[in-house]
Chain A
């Protein structure tokens, strides 16, 4: 289980939070506020993400979507100006108390807006995370590489040239390679940050099909600037605007007139964004 992997410390919440979380909650974010230096990037966000759902986050640029993802992965360790307040419970464990951040990041896969094929072979790109966590057996790595590339809908295109550099694949292929790499960690939570920005529509649809399959095994947070993509994929969606989380709801409900906030309605209808 997650709790044991994140070393000792009690998994239940020591704080005096009274609101009972949804029983399937994987990620429970309370009053999350993020600053870069003095500049706020996210104010007072409270939301929960449940196991095996695709949770959409939509909103215009500079709404704090990416900062939200970075805080989940504790990337504030690497960004010295980034300051995170509030509480993030991942599988019941307060992330601010986690010492073994490397184990945490292995449980959380990330896909960036622009594809990042590392300057390694295709094989080594996918085998990197398992190797970092100590897998040395060639046969075992072979299985992982093939499985992850297949699930990312890339295997058939690259299976004959696994020794080629991953960073020289086409943009769409590199993005699927990035997804395969994220899957190689066997993550519980997959964070997708506007993954389709640099990908053609056909590849986008293929990846979306992959995501629908993946949610059977993991939880996915999908940050997207395409509202229709959120509608196609996400069960629930949050709307971020101006560093705040304006509204959260069942995606279909929001799209079929259920949105309460006027700016959410305007954004969904494409009046700004």
Chain B
């Protein structure tokens, strides 16, 4: 064997330089993703950071939002998000249990699956109109946190169902067989083996619900969120302010708003999502880190 055998031929040389070029190209495209992320965060922190004081957080808005703080909007967003979570998680997990553990492959199951995919694709403004019809008027919740939370829940159900179902189906079938052979019912098997090992999917669902519930504007502006409210909500039948809608208002609807206020609200919006998510992500990483089989 001689050294010349390792000399690349002309074709091999071309293949190797193509390979290098492509690698750099793909890397460059991936790095482009970082630009908007850091630009958004950077601008928000630079423009909105100084205004984001404790007083801004705890004071109620005045002059339609042109002065004062955003306390009622922050509290309203927390109410809305919690309501959406309380409604969407149990329903979504229940539906995922049915689809993953009970459903046979028949026309009903296929119809449900198509419905889930389509529900996920419905624009949020359409969800808003649905919420007005279904919850505000038909169910007679009125324009309230409950109606807005229910609308957000309907909108986020598909992602809860899909992420939970996928993590349930990642639990090996052999575990179910072993349980059934011991005389366990389907439910005993789900409760003792499948669900405890689907935590990461349920948490993923939770993260996605929080993200959308905090950020969406259209579904809540007709169903429960208001332009300005000085009172904190007492129950889910109250109306409330919301950060996302407040951001829209102070950016476009109100005159003479100091320039930093919209940025501060936007920064807070991002921080709320990030902080709630990082808790869930921490638990999810802990779950995934422990290898169980």
Contacts and interface: CB of A to CB of B under 8 A. Distances in A.
Contacts, number: 69
Contacts of B182: 105-106, 128-129, 132, 181-182, 185
A205 interface: no
Interface stretch (B51-59, B185-193, B214-222): B185-193
Contacts of A106: 182-183
A78 B196 CA distance: 21
Contacts of B291: 168
A112 B233 CA distance: 58
Nearest to B171: A119
Contacts of A182: 182
B259 interface: no
A199 B292 CA distance: 21
Contact of B183 (A105, A116, A165, A168): A105
Interface in B120-179: 174-179
Contacts of A9: none
A16 B184 CA distance: 34
A128 B192 contact: yes
A32 interface: no
A71 interface: no
Interface string B254-293: 0000000000000000000000000000000000000111
Given A112-B178, A178-B178, A129 B293 contact: no
A103 B184 CA distance: 9
Given A119-B197, A119-B292, A119-B293, A129 B174 contact: no
B174 A132 contact: no
A129 B292 contact: no
A118 B178 contact: yes
B193 A103 contact: no
A110 interface: yes
B110 interface: no
B104 interface: yes
A158 interface: no
Contacts of B177: 75, 78, 112, 116
A133 to B, nearest CB: 7
Contacts of B193: 118-120
With most chain B CB atoms within 10 A of its CB, the pick from A108, A119, A167 is: A119
A120 B189 CA distance: 12
Interface residues of A, number: 31
B292 A132 contact: no
Contacts of A181: 178, 182
A116 B174 contact: yes
B5 interface: no
A91 B45 CA distance: 77
Contacts of A109: 181
A129 B196 CA distance: 18
Nearest to A106: B183
Contacts of B197: 119
Most B C-beta atoms less than 10 A away, residue of A110, A118, A178: A118
B180 interface: yes
Nearest to A115: B174
B293 A168 contact: yes
A271 interface: no
A105 B196 CA distance: 24
A83 B191 CA distance: 28
Given A118-B193, A119-B193, A119-B293, A102 B174 contact: no
Contact of A73 (B104, B179, B181): B181
Interface of B: 104, 174-185, 188, 192-193, 196-197, 291-293
Interface of A: 73, 75, 78, 80, 101-106, 108-110, 112, 114, 116-120, 128-129, 132-133, 165, 167-168, 178, 181-182, 185
Q: What are the 4 closest A-B residue pairs judged by CB atoms, nearest first?
A: A106-B183, A105-B183, A167-B293, A119-B292
Given A106-B182, A119-B193, A119-B293, 7 more contacts: A101-B183, A110-B181, A114-B174, A116-B178, A118-B178, A118-B193, A132-B183
